[in-house]
Every structure is written in C-alpha cells, then in structure tokens.
A and B are shown apart, each in its own frame.
Chain A
Amino acid sequence: SVQAHKEEDNPEKTMEMNGLTPVPDSYDYDLIVIGGGSGGLAAAKEAAKYGKKVMVLDFVTPTPQGSSWGLGGTCVNVGCIPKKLMHQAALLGQALQDSRKFGWQFTEDVKHNWMTMTESVQNYIGSLNWGYRVTLRDTKVTYENAYGEFVGPHTIKATNKKGVEKLYTAERFIIATGERPRYLGVPGDKEHCISSDDLFSLPYCPGKTLVVGASYVALECAGFLAGLGLDVTVMVRSILLRGFDQDMANKIGEYMKEHGVSFIREFVPIKIEKVEEGTPGILKVTAKSTTENQLIEGEYNTVLLAIGRDPCTRKIGLDKVGVKINEKTGKIPVNDEEQTNVPYIYAIGDILQDKLELTPVAIQAGRLLVQRLYAGATTKCDYVNVPTTVFTPLEYGACGYSEQTAVEKFGEENIEVYHSHFWPLEWTVPSRDNNKCYAKIICNIQDKERVIGFHVLGPNAGEVTQGFAAAMKCGLTKEQLDGTVGIHPVCAEV
C-alpha cells in the first residue's frame, strides 16, 4: 500500500501494519529519556546501572529575554540551587547586621554587589552542569543537547540548536520535560518582564522590582531581593501560597511586610510599558483591581513574573503516539507506576497530574520506576507525607496535612492542633522579633493522636522538618512526641 512505502525510515511501523510486532533488538536504545532534569537524569543513570542502552535528550528553549542554561534541568540551573544560594546571601546580610550586637566591629556600611554574587552562583552551577556531563559519559549514557519530539510509535526526532534532525527508536520512553514559567498574556509581558528563568543569571542588578504572583517562587524571590537591600513590591491577585496551610501563609506575608516588602493585594497587571532604556531600564506597570473598578500605575526597574508554571507537553508530539494529556493544564495523568495511557511511555516529575512538584519526588519516582522496569523491583513511589520547605525570609517547613485540609478530611472535632510560638536563642541578643517563629502539629484524635501535619516557621526550617518527616513516616503520635526529650537550646525542641 502507499502508506507502507512512505514509512521507509520506520521499519517497525511497516511491520506493525502488516500485523507483525517489531523485533525488540531493532530499537536503537532500550530507553530514551526526554528531559535532562532531576527526574530524567536520575532515571537515566539508574537504567545505565542495569546495563541498559540509554539516551538522554535535553534542550533549553531560550526565554523571551534570551536566557538559556546547561544540563541539569530547572532545579540545578534556575530553581532550587541558585534560589537557596541567593536566599543564603540575603541571610548573611541579616547576620552581618546582627553581628554588631554580638561584638563584631566594622565601620563601613555593608553593601551588596549583585554581579559578584551572580558570578559565584553561576560558576557553581557550571560545575554541576559539567559534573552531569562527566557522569553521563562515564556511565555510558548517550547525551544529546537536542529537542526531542515523538514522530511515530517508538520513534522520536531530535533537533539540535543548529537545526540538524536525527531519528532514534527505543523500546521504552520516559517523559521528564518539566515546566516553564507562565506569562500574563498582556501587552508588554514577554518584551519587558523577566521570570525566574532569567533572574539567577541577570547580568545587572534588578533594582526596584515588582514581583507579580503569590506562589512560593514569587515570595522566595521577593524575600531574597529585599534581603539584599532592593526595593521590592509583590502584587497578589488573591491569596498567598495557594495549596499551603493558609494560617502559615499569612504569617509569612506579615513577616515579609514588617521587613521591607510592600504588598499590593487584589490587583493584576494589565499593561507593561518601557519608559526608559537601560540595564535595568524603567518600566511602567498598569494594574487593575480584581474587586472594584480601579486602575493603578507604578514604575519599577524590573518586573518579575512568578504566576505559575506550565508543563512542556504540548509540543513534543504526544498526539502522534496517542499519549493523553489534560488539555486544560497540559499535565500528564499516570497510574501509580508512572505509566501513561501508552504502555511503553512513562512520565515523571513536575509534568505529572496531581503529584507534588519537587526535585526529590522526581528523583525517587525515576529511580523506582527504572528499578521496577529493569531490576524486578515492585516498590512504588510514596507520595504521602513528603516534606517541603519554603525559603522565604522566615523559612517555612511542612510535612503532611495543612490545617484546613485536615479539617475538611477528618472533621474539626476529630483533629487536635498543638501550637507554640518560640524565640530562637540566636535572635535574643540582636533584639529580633520575639513573636514570629511558630510551630504547630495537627493530630488525628481517632487514630491515637497520630501526627498528620507538621508546620514550623523559623530559621533552618528545612533542617528541622526533615527529621520530623521520617518520624511521621514511622507513624509518630503525640504521646511519642511528648516522650521525646528535646535538644536544648535549639528551635527544634519546641
């Protein structure tokens, strides 16, 4: 037939159409991973351990401002790593101020140099990119810096930055393409605004900044920018940190307000115009109220959009192989073994529907998936009681249910909340706030007061939360918690 002749470069399809199943060793690879981020690299390295022939495709489409980066995905290049380093830079600024009360004497005013910080951070990221290249090469995983998309059953097309196309086939695929920041869809957004994809490598200090959004990305960035001494305003459409415990979210917002971050609540930008060129220039933002008929205007050096992230699933040819996605969100639904509706295609990481968007989750899911595929394992990824931390100026660590979700699920009468304010010893001498740090646990009365939610707001929240997460995994109850003697003097003893 005419169609069979057209598919010359794909012998498998011809055979399929003639009713024959393709022969396994006619595939180029056992596994092709599309996306070289946290999930993709973990899966690829794991598969290579079992002697499988693996290829990783990673490609970064440059941002509207032209930013791009190397192998490693969002976390390494434009996410967790640079974020935590810049958060640390801001904390060190605070520590320098505190240090005077502890007896350190220095006469000059302390100033911050954006370029020095950014160069150091980018240098570290560069060493991580290189490290991944070495590891992949060393473990015999083939890596191509090319954009992968499905063109037919078991077949993908890889296009490199020079436009050269190559076709590859594999027995199985893992989609780990992650997400990219969303834009507003208003005039001037792509031309003039930056996103987190641009911020961590910005070749000039952002200056007076408007952060649009109320996600953890927005608040963390606003937090460290303010901590570095910049004039920061956050424009929020409705609530802060949707999906997180709202009681804690509000406390985070209050703390940031009292420490130099301005908030404009219940407004959204409708137009961004450049009024002066420069690095940075001056931008004029026009915003509309979400509740009444009011318009406001403001001028800023930089506008940082952090209003959400969209999965990179719409332009990778999923329709050509029949992989179903949620048309509205772009996310991919999978079963509890990370399998899509097409049996030989799997997906992991941020693109999954109804799963947590965290690096360690993607890594765990990727490793366990590969162990099930190639090493006869049966363990599935456990998405329950995954701890997280938001690195706002006052850090917030959480594991398990938020108070509002626990009330919804178990009923207010069946949960007990224990809470406490605490004053870190290190904050006493420099006279820092004595009523801001806070911790609470949510217990299920009907199940021996089992701890089903843990929340802490204070320094080193991530370090504190990790141990509690392990305890919760073991079924920690209030009684056991009470029976554990505290370490003194540390915040965690609360």
Chain B
Amino acid sequence: MGWEEVQVRGYAEFVRSAERYHGRPIFALFCGDKDAEGRSWCPDCVTAEPVVRKELHNLPDESVFIYCLVGDRAYWKDPNNEFRKNLKLTGVPTLLKYGTPQKLVEEECFKADLVRMLFTED
C-alpha cells in the first residue's frame, strides 16, 4: 500500500489524526489558513506547498501525510497557541516527521532535495 493524505484544520483535529495513525510513519505540513480563493495568509506557505507536494511520491509505503491548516494569522501570532506550546513549532510552514526531531522550517521547505531527504532517509 502506498501513502495517503489526510487534511485537518486546527490543533485538536491534528492530534486526533496523529493518534488514529499511530504506528505508521506520519509526515505533517503545517500552513496558515486559506481564504475563499484558496490563498494562504502565509506567503512562505504558498511557496512551499507545491515544492512539498511534488516530492510526496517519495514517501515510504504505509506513510500518512497530514496537511494541517493551523488557523488565522492572529491565532498563529499568539505565542501561547497550542502548536507552539505542545508541538514546539516556531514558524509556518513547518514540515516534519512526527515523533522524531526531523523537521524543516520556513525557507528550508522551499528546497526540494531537503524535502526529499526528510521523506526518504532515517
């Protein structure tokens, strides 16, 4: 079985999703919310998303890719939001391998070979 994508919005949904897929490799991309036209308030997320999507075919079998919208700009800027507090996220976009210290933050997500490295190597 290849990989599958799950889309969630907000911290609670993210946690439920991660728990549901416990035991399989989980990769997550955190981005700012999108407006009615589908554009994110976070310009770096707009740049990173296509780069990350282009590398998804490199995900190991059985993986789950969670695409998570974190909230609006005001929520994100709050230093006590749950993503910052509990997942220790420092910026969006963040691409990480859940349960490991392996992650790429902001401009690192623009680099296809770093994204590929995150998806393919231990």
Contact = CB atoms under 8 A, between A and B. Distances in A.
Interface of A: 123-124, 126-127, 129-130, 133-134, 137-138
Nearest to B108: A134
Q: Which 9 A-B pairs have the closest CB atoms?
A: A127-B101, A126-B101, A130-B102, A130-B101, A137-B117, A123-B101, A137-B114, A137-B113, A134-B114
Contacts of B101: 123-124, 126-127, 129-130
Contacts of B117: 133-134, 137
Interface in B92-122: 100-104, 108, 111, 113-114, 117, 121
A137 B103 CA distance: 14
Interface of B: 100-104, 108, 111, 113-114, 117, 121
A57 to B, nearest CB: 16
Contact of B111 (A126, A127, A129, A138): A138
A133 B118 CA distance: 10
A454 to B, nearest CB: 38
Between B101, B102, B108, B117, the greatest number of chain A beta carbons within 10 A of the residue's beta carbon is seen for: B101
23 contacts: A123-B101, A124-B101, A126-B100, A126-B101, A126-B102, A127-B101, A129-B101, A130-B100, A130-B101, A130-B102, A130-B103, A133-B117, A133-B121, A134-B104, A134-B108, A134-B114, A134-B117, A137-B113, A137-B114, A137-B117, A138-B108, A138-B111, A138-B114
A300 to B, nearest CB: 33
Nearest to A122: B101
Contacts of B102: 126, 130
A137 B108 CA distance: 11
Contacts of B108: 134, 138
A127 B104 CA distance: 11
A134 B105 CA distance: 11
A138 B108 CA distance: 9
Contacts of B111: 138
A129 B117 CA distance: 13
Contacts of A126: 100-102
A437 to B, nearest CB: 38
A123 B114 CA distance: 20
A258 to B, nearest CB: 39
Contacts of B113: 137
B111 to A, nearest CB: 7
A91 to B, nearest CB: 25
Given A129-B101, A133-B121, A138-B114, 4 more contacts: A124-B101, A126-B100, A130-B102, A134-B117
B92 to A, nearest CB: 18
B120 to A, nearest CB: 12
B103 to A, nearest CB: 8
A127 B88 CA distance: 13
Contacts of A123: 101
A126 B103 CA distance: 11
Contacts of A137: 113-114, 117
A71 to B, nearest CB: 11
A161 to B, nearest CB: 11
A423 to B, nearest CB: 40
Nearest to B113: A137
A124 B101 CA distance: 8
A123 B99 CA distance: 10
B99 to A, nearest CB: 10
A134 B118 CA distance: 9
B26 to A, nearest CB: 16
Contacts of B121: 133
Nearest to A134: B114
A134 B113 CA distance: 10
A388 to B, nearest CB: 29
Contacts of A130: 100-103
A138 B112 CA distance: 11
Contacts of A129: 101
A473 to B, nearest CB: 37
B50 to A, nearest CB: 20
Nearest to B104: A134
A130 B101 CA distance: 7
A123 B101 CA distance: 7
Nearest to A129: B101
A59 B16 CA distance: 38
A134 B108 CA distance: 9
